[in-house]
């Protein structure tokens, strides 16, 4: 059976890190004789330059016809002051809406070889393994009405019952396979929409009596992520809060370049690194590809049920880091610095040693 993957390299360092992720996929496909077909398309700033839109209809069609989507990064400062509908980020929002991607999974765990790369004390972050489940298609990013007027600008934060129910079930189902603890993050002491969120989450929780549910205000959650991150297993939250908290959680691991993500829909899923396009280092072959390669591991697990191959990628990343190999963003005086392509090669070599 052929597995079709839409590849959207995007902007900045996106093409560089995606190239290494595709390299890893090809390595696994050769070892296990998996038939993969890669279909490339434009999105973001590069799409604006070539097609005058951040999300060409052809790109959306390719993604809809694929079994999974691999995205690099979106964003370019040259478009920051343009019309709101001509910003690269609109391409990502359009993908989420057009593909019905409602659940964003962002794991944050510490690799033993990187425990000293974090700015926090080792005893604080040792053995952390957090999964942030972020709702993607509702909330303030999509709420109507929204407008910029002469003397004010406004957005509305709206959640429908079905949106909260389906993302809550994703979180509870994930927790059942982990440590059976969900922390639902909201701002119910101030926002009516958060009071509604909490009410619906409590109702869904009744379907999961084996999973512990804790409610936490978002400001406290931000503090607790730094003070005592090991208290968290699965964090369930809305679109904007999840956007912020997942970036904060990434720094527990020492670098944004380490964290993958999966955005799940009813028919397809999109996989991308948490980091941005980093235009300041684009084209210099020093970007960290590990987050994108780890996103491929999530793809193999969630979209293709290739659990052994997915774990092989995780083990290969851990082995490379344990041997002291680093890209510049996580390097120190005691490690060996590799460029983007060398890191991809090193991970492929480990995979060849792991998979029979």
* CATH number where 39 lies: 3.40.718.10
141 assigned to active site: yes
Catalytic residue among 67, 187, 208, 233: 187
The answer to whether residues 4 and 51 belong to one domain is: yes
262 in any annotated domain = no
**Range of 14's domain?**
1-106+269-356
122 in any annotated domain = yes
61 assigned to active site: no
Find the angle CA(233)-CA(265)-CA(98) to the nearest 5 degrees. 135
The answer to whether residues 231 and 174 belong to one domain is: yes
The answer to whether residues 145 and 244 belong to one domain is: yes
The answer to whether residues 160 and 280 belong to one domain is: no
The answer to whether residues 230 and 308 belong to one domain is: no
219 assigned to active site: yes
Q: What is the model's pLDDT at position 254? A: 67
159 in any annotated domain = yes
Q: What is the model's pLDDT at position 258? A: 84
Which of 253, 281, 296 delimits the end of a domain? 253
The answer to whether residues 14 and 61 belong to one domain is: yes
Which of 200, 225, 253 delimits the end of a domain? 253
260 in any annotated domain = no
Q: What is the model's pLDDT at position 235? A: 98
CA distance 6 to 95: 12
Q: What is the model's pLDDT at position 283? A: 95
| Mean pLDDT for back-to-back runs of 10 residues, the chain (356 residues) | 94 98 97 96 96 96 97 89 84 91 92 80 89 94 90 95 97 95 98 98 98 98 95 97 90 78 93 92 95 96 94 96 91 89 98 93
318 in any annotated domain = yes
Catalytic residue among 11, 243, 286, 329: 243
Which of 253, 286, 319 delimits the end of a domain? 253
Q: What is the model's pLDDT at position 255? A: 67
Q: How many structural domains does the chain have?
A: 2
Q: What is the model's pLDDT at position 24? A: 98
112 in any annotated domain = no
Catalytic residue among 39, 129, 247, 345: 247
3-state DSSP: the chain helix, strand, coil percent, rounded to 5?
50, 20, 35
The answer to whether residues 273 and 169 belong to one domain is: no
The whole-model pTM stands at 0.88
Phi, psi (rounded to 5 degrees) for 105? -105, 120
The answer to whether residues 124 and 249 belong to one domain is: yes
154 assigned to active site: no
263 in any annotated domain = no
306 in any annotated domain = yes
Catalytic residue among 61, 219, 230, 323: 219
Phi, psi (rounded to 5 degrees) for 57? -60, -30
Q: What is the model's pLDDT at position 81? A: 78
Catalytic residue among 111, 141, 159, 271: 141
The answer to whether residues 248 and 279 belong to one domain is: no
217 assigned to active site: no
The answer to whether residues 184 and 290 belong to one domain is: no
């Amino acid at each position: 059976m052929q597995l079709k993957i839409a590849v959207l390299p995007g902007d900045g360092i996106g093409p560089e890190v995606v190239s290494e992720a595709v390299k890893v996929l090809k390595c696994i496909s050769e070892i296990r004789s998996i038939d993969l077909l890669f279909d490339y398309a434009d999105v973001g700033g590069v799409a604006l330059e070539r097609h005058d839109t951040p999300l060409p209809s052809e790109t959306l069609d390719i993604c809809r016809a694929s079994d999974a989507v691999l995205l690099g990064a979106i964003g370019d400062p040259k478009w920051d002051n343009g019309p709101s509908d001509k910003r690269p980020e609109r391409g990502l929002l359009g993908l989420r809406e057009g593909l019905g991607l409602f659940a964003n999974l962002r794991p944050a765990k510490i690799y033993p070889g990187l425990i000293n790369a974090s700015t926090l004390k080792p005893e604080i972050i040792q053995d952390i393994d957090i999964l942030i489940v972020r709702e993607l298609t509702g909330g303030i990013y999509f709420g109507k009405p929204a407008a910029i007027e002469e003397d004010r600008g406004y957005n509305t934060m709206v959640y429908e019952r079905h949106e909260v129910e389906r993302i809550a079930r994703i979180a509870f189902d994930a927790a059942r396979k982990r440590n059976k603890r969900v922390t639902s993050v909201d701002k119910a002491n101030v926002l009516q929409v958060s009071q509604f969120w909490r009410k619906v989450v409590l109702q869904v929780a009744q379907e999961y009596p084996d999973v512990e549910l804790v409610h936490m205000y978002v400001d406290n959650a931000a503090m607790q992520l730094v003070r005592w991150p090991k208290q968290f297993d699965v964090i369930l939250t809305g679109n904007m809060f999840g956007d912020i908290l997942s970036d904060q959680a990434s720094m527990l691991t020492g670098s944004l370049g380490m964290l993958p993500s999966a955005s799940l829909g009813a028919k397809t899923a999109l996989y991308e690194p948490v980091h941005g396009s980093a235009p300041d280092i684009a084209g210099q072959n020093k970007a960290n590809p590990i987050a994108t390669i780890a996103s491929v591991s999530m793809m193999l697990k969630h979209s293709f049920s290739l659990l052994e191959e997915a774990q092989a990628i995780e083990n290969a990343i851990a082995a490379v880091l344990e041997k002291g190999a680093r890209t510049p963003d996580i390097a120190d005086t005691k490690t060996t610095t590799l460029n983007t392509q060398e890191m991809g090669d090193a991970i492929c070599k480990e995979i060849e040693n792991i998979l029979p």
